[in-house]
């Protein structure tokens, strides 16, 4: 007889999620140490989720025609965002949260959005925007820089979230 835990793990591997990942862009390294660290962690998260078989798309590529997963009738970011099982944002600056503005305007999208917010930004414009998003229902998870990046708490938190959502999808 098969172990139920093994069967569950096999089922989860067979049901990858479509994940949209926001955060500092990866095409050029930031001179800012904090943003550079978040870029590196975003690369780690991307790699880990892809290694686990998930379909991960970077927000900066939403309008990129090379992504075969995106159909041509989807013209705006709002419409594209609806294609994902979960939307994850890594916020280390105002630019990161501004890029995510479509998320806080559509309740269907809000319900599947999780923002990881650097707690040192509390009281800044970026922090205020995150609080506004929280007020609309976006799940906001604070992290402490640099510990969360250095000690891989952020990577572990994101992977745990994905695993939980995968499990919930199997339960439905």
pLDDT digits (tens, 9 = 90+) for 130-172: 999 999 999 999 999 999 999 999 999 999 999 999 888 776 5
Give the range of the structural domain holding residue 156, as residue numbers without chain letter. 18-171
Q: Is the residue at 10 inside a domain? A: no
Q: Is the residue at 156 inside a domain? A: yes
Q: Is the residue at 1 inside a domain? A: no
Q: Is the residue at 30 inside a domain? A: yes
Element (H, E) at 11: helix 4-13
The pLDDT of residue 7: 52
Taking residue 156's Cβ as centre, other Cβ atoms within 10 Å add up to 12
39: domain CATH number is 3.40.50
pLDDT digits (tens, 9 = 90+) for 12-28: 667 899 999 999 999 99
Q: Domain count of the chain?
A: 1
Q: Is the residue at 6 inside a domain? A: no
């Amino acid at each position: 007889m098969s172990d139920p835990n093994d069967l569950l793990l096999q089922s989860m591997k067979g049901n990858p999620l479509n994940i949209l990942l926001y955060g500092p862009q990866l095409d050029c390294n930031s001179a800012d140490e904090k943003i550079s660290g978040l870029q590196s962690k975003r690369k780690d998260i991307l790699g880990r989720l892809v290694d686990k078989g998930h379909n991960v798309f970077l927000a900066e590529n939403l309008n990129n025609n090379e992504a075969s997963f995106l159909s041509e009738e989807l013209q705006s970011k709002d419409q594209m965002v609806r294609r994902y099982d979960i939307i994850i944002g890594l916020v280390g600056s105002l630019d990161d949260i501004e890029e995510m503005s479509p998320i806080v305007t559509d309740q269907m999208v809000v319900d599947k959005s999780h923002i990881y917010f650097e707690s040192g930004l509390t009281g800044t414009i970026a922090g205020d925007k995150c609080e506004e998003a929280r007020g609309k229902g976006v799940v906001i998870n604070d992290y402490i820089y640099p510990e969360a990046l250095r000690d891989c708490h952020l990577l572990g938190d994101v992977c745990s979230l994905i695993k939980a959502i995968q499990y919930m999808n199997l339960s439905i």
